[in-house]
Structure 1
Amino acid sequence: MGKMIFQDREDMSYLAGLVDGEGCFYLATVTSGKGFKSYQPRIIVTNTNKDVMDWLKDTFGGYITSNKPRDIMHKKAYQWTITGNRALMLANWLEPLLIIKRKEVAKLYINGSG
């Protein structure tokens, strides 16, 4: 399931830079088999460097997915995602370190924590 205890400030600062540049805070709509809707907070980072994505998973938990390139001119892209309460906790730690995406964190709390 991954780690719940987050690492040092250097790790958090690096993650904040990745999220600011290549990530987002996202509120996913999840529909159950019975048609009930709920909302799941997510933090997503996309990158073509698999080592960076593996580091994120090993350091913070979450999971990695990938896509096939559209053509030979494009690199394979990887997406690291962390969800739920773990995403909210991590967003709280990241907020003071963010520059560009700080407003997205506020929206995540307003819409995703209640």
Structure 2
Amino acid sequence: MTVLAGREDAVVKAYVDGKSARRLAHEFGVGDQTIRRLLEARGVTRRRGQPAGCRTEPAEAPPTDASVSALSLTELAYIAGLIDGEGCLLIYRKRDPRGGLHFRCILRVSNTSQRVIEWLQLRLGGGAQAGQPPQPNHLRVFHWRCEGPRMAALLVAVRPFLVIKPELADLLLAMQRTLTYSASGLRLPPDVAAERELIFAQYQVERREMKGR
């Protein structure tokens, strides 16, 4: 594991002492998956049930949505394949004129089959649109977009079926949980602001590492 060469023992000790996988990934400048592979290779039992690197509060009930609940296991597995293959799990960060930071989580699936995109919209709502007119010898691409509570419920439902992008799904879910403050108009606590920055930094690392997989 060349990216952690010489630092493996320090990572394992810090994890056993109580630091989360995500916090260690941030501190050592690697992706979550790198830390998890190391822990598995060393036979370390991973802690479950709490988003890594996030505040230690009682676990929230998973988000629910009627449209997502109506999907069969076969449909969930199919959607997971679409997300792994043609999906984008996106976290946007934008600074307003007053210096405030705003985050937005979006799940997007692109496909050259209009029927696939129409099926997603029929089953889950969201937005659908056709891409720009294609170049010669290229097919037109169609896009489907989902965000907010329905996106979170869908990611929770398809998470067991994801092969390529489970870590990105976890990061979007962690960020989406912090966005309840924005929706409710509550004043953003400093620890939540710091958590958002940590999640976004890890998201950037994970996106970079995915290019080499």
Q: The TM-score by the shorter chain falls in which range?
A: 0.7 to 0.9
Distance 1:53 1:35, change over 3 A: farther
Structure 2-normalised TM-score? 0.47
Alpha-carbon distance in structure 2 between the residues aligned to 1:87 and 1:73: 34
Counting matched residue pairs gives 112
Displacement, 1:35?
A: 7.5
Pick closer, same or farther for the CA change 1:12–1:30 going to 2, 3 Å.
farther
Q: Which has the larger radius of gyration?
A: 2
2:88 is aligned with 1:16 = no
- CA distance in structure 2 between the partners assigned to 1:33 and 1:9 by the alignment: 45
Report SS of the residue matched to 1:5.
helix
Residue pair 2:106, 2:145 contacting (<8 A) in 1 also: yes
Extract unaligned runs of 5+ from structure 2.
Answer: 1-64, 179-213
Which amino acid in the other structure matches residue 67 of structure 1?
Answer: G
1:108 equivalent to 2:175? Answer: no
2:151 is equivalent to residue 87 of structure 1? yes
- Residue type at the aligned position of 2:124: F
Corresponding position of 1:5: 67
Q: Which residue does the alignment assign to 1:54?
A: 118
Per-residue CA deviations over 1:12-56 (Å, capped at 9, x if unaligned) read 111001111110211234677988543222111100100010000
Unpaired segments of 5 or more residues in structure 1?
Answer: none
- CA RMSD in angstroms comes to 2.2
Query: Higher helix proportion, which one?
Result: 2
Bigger fraction of residues in strand: 1
Looking at structure 2, the residues matched to 61 and 31 of structure 1 have their Cα atoms a distance apart, in angstroms, of 29
Relative contact order higher in (CA < 8 Å, ≥ 6 apart): 1
Change (3 A) 1:61 1:112: same
TM-score (norm 1): 0.84
